[in-house]
Amino acid sequence: MVRVRSAALVLVLFATGCAAQQQGGAAGGGAAGVTDTTITVGGVLTKTSASGYSTKDAELGAKARFERANAEGGVHGRTIEFLGAEDDGQDAAKGDAAAKKLVQKDSVFALVPVHAPNFGGAAFLERQGVPWFGWATGPQWCGTKTGFGYNGCLAPKQGAGSQTWWGRQMADLLGGAEGKSVYVQTSDSSGSKYGGTTISQSFTAAGFALAGVNSGLPAAAPPPDWLPYVNKIMTSDDGGPPDVVVSVIAGTKFNVGLYSALKRAGYQGVLTDATSYDAAILKDPASAKALEGVIAAPMFEPFESDAPEVARLRQDVEKVAPGAELTQHLAIGYWAADIFLDLLDKTGKELTRERFLATANGSYVYENPGFGRIEYPKDHSEPNGCGALVKLEGGAFQVARNMRCFDNVPLK
């Protein structure tokens, strides 16, 4: 009887071990999400939100890049099993729950892409040693060993490197910064205020004089009257208007309102922001008119570029979603997936999370004209310093400055 029970126990343990291997598990969880032929990943995005803000297109971008990798035979003989992305609804608690579901229930190896301004799963992923890739829009990405923003850390601490590319690209575009002033408009959200600090320094590092920074704009909704904000801007440079106005506001409605009001007031200078590179605005005549002449600052090579890497992106997307609109969020998902795939390749056939993270955090450098350059572990604490400029002109986007990378300077 004892022998029968012992034999049964052996069979149960053997079967349990086989099942764990089939699900990608391993002792200590080192090879979770990995089999001999597949690597399982999934993402977390803000697909829906009360304000209408959505990063859902990042899912298509990642899918397009993974599909090409799979068509080429995968990475070291393993194809990517992409589960798609969970929706956090721009809620930190939902983001944390989504991350836990992907790791604990779906047994993913890594989270790709993560593109959620209020992502709440960072602490859990760091504790579990699970890699995650996306757009590092908040401080939760910075100072980790597992979070890999395709553009580095956009919220550096005081004394760490802070980007100068936006200011320097604008200086080149305008024929130099000498004698030119800049005014920075943000909202009262913490993220917007922080962006105002780093972007103001980017322009002053390039030689612009800072005419002013206003962080009094409510972040919840556009104000009913833009006049108080416009008056401050139009008199900020010794009683006159500045040469450049930088908007650090998340949302097309805000920018359309601000720019329309400035144009009505007779502003003739340069308007620039990080979010107006969006083909959807061209469908609305009023928005297109308000944003005409605006210079957007994407942190990737524009879709209108003739760079071979961008042509490949367009081909990859067309293959999985014919006629799909190319958006900033799509590009972020695509390039985040591209970096993840490069790291898989460099880690080698013997894949565990520990080996992957050791490769990623061991003087990893990857250059790609599509997004510039990334360096880890350095870029866990500072941005990658790369970006391009796009101008809306005649109702169409034009490349104003191709992707370039510049040295960072310590954040004051």
pLDDT per position as a tens digit, 49-61 = 887 889 999 999 9
Q: How confident is the model at residue 314 (pLDDT cuts 50, 70, 90)?
A: very high
Nearest to 122 by CA among 156, 101, 146, 87: 146
Q: Is 263 left (phi over 0), alpha (psi -120 to 50) or beta?
A: alpha
244: which strand partners?
182, 270
Q: State the average pLDDT over residues 205-211.
A: 98
Question: In angstroms, rounded to a whole number, what is the distance separating the alpha carbons of residues 368 and 335?
Answer: 9
Q: How confident is the model at residue 30 (pLDDT cuts 50, 70, 90)?
A: very low
Q: Is 159 left (phi over 0), alpha (psi -120 to 50) or beta?
A: left
Task: Choose the weakest-confidence range: 26-30, 104-108, 347-351.
Answer: 26-30
* pLDDT > 90 in the chain, percent: 82
Q: How many CB atoms lie within 10 A of CB 377?
A: 13
pTM value is 0.88
Burial class for 12, CB neighbours closer than 10 Å (0-12, 13-18, 19+): exposed
Mean pLDDT estimate for the chain: 91
- Please tell me the predicted confidence (pLDDT) of residue 25: 41
For the cut 80, the answer to whether the pLDDT of residue 202 exceeds it is yes
- Please tell me the predicted confidence (pLDDT) of residue 8: 42
Q: Kind of pairing, strands 396-405 and 386-393?
A: antiparallel
Alpha carbon distances (Å) from 167 to 274, 313, 377: 12, 27, 25
